Amino acid sequence: MKKNLSNNNRGSEIITTPVVIAIGLMLVAVLIVFCVNILMPYIWYEKLSSTCLKYVFVMEEYGYLTNKEKQNLINDLKNQGFDTAQLIVDSTTRRQVYGSPIKLNVRYVYKMKLPIVGNKNVVMNISRESVSKR
């Protein structure tokens, strides 16, 4: 009788093991997608921050952000994948003399899509200040 019991258990193991492995792999896949989606706003923030820093150097040279450079900033962000409809750029608009403060503020709303939880908007505010070197 013991041999029959072990054969019955052996058959159920053959069926349940792949099912358990498949469920485990699906859970791991969902967790990986969830973690990547949580980390994406940080990556987008760093892209936005480094581009803004680049244009602060341009502002230091000119003493303000010209309309042409403002459009270049928006185009650079668009080329990096940012949605320009969710982007607000505010900066010093008049030429400043040497040593006067200049400011660049960029606001972006990132739409984060999370499985199970749903969508969430993440507001990114980048504010950079420097002084005119002109």
User: Per the domain annotation, does 79 fall within a domain?
Assistant: yes
Domain coverage including residue 75 = 40-131
Mark residue 94 as left, alpha or beta (left: phi above 0; alpha: psi -120 to 50; beta: remaining): beta
Q: How far apart are CA 50 and CA 54, in angstroms?
A: 6
- Residue 21 CB contacts under 8 Å (≥ 6 apart), including other chains: none
Tens-digit pLDDT string for the chain (134 aa):
455 555 556 667 777 888 899 999 999 998 888 888 889 999 999 999 999 999 999 999 999 999 999 999 999 999 999 999 999 999 998 999 998 999 999 999 999 887 677 788 999 999 999 999 87
Give the chain's domain count.
1
| Contact (CB, 8 A) for 69 and 62 | yes
User: Per the domain annotation, does 23 fall within a domain?
Assistant: no
| Contact (CB, 8 A) for 102 and 130 | yes
